[in-house]
Amino acid sequence: MTFDLQKIIESKRAFRSNLAARPIGEKLRMLDALRERELAIRGRALPADSSLLRDAPASYRTKPE
């Protein structure tokens, strides 16, 4: 197996460009599908009445206590 770094970089750029050109609604549907897969891998299902995954926000402290 050979690795052509230039080909890999060009492929990544094309993929990112393709994703950036998609409508926001499609991007959000893709995100929902990824969340559902992630929960399935973890072994938990998304509740039927929930359309969003709500995670607790990360705590970022800028000043030491």
Q: DSSP E strands: which ranges in 1-65?
A: none
Task: Give the tens place of pLDDT for each residue, 11-54.
Answer: 999 999 999 999 999 999 999 999 999 999 988 755 655 555 56
Spatial CB neighbours of 39, under 8 Å, sequence gap ≥ 6:
45, 46, 53
Give the pTM.
0.51
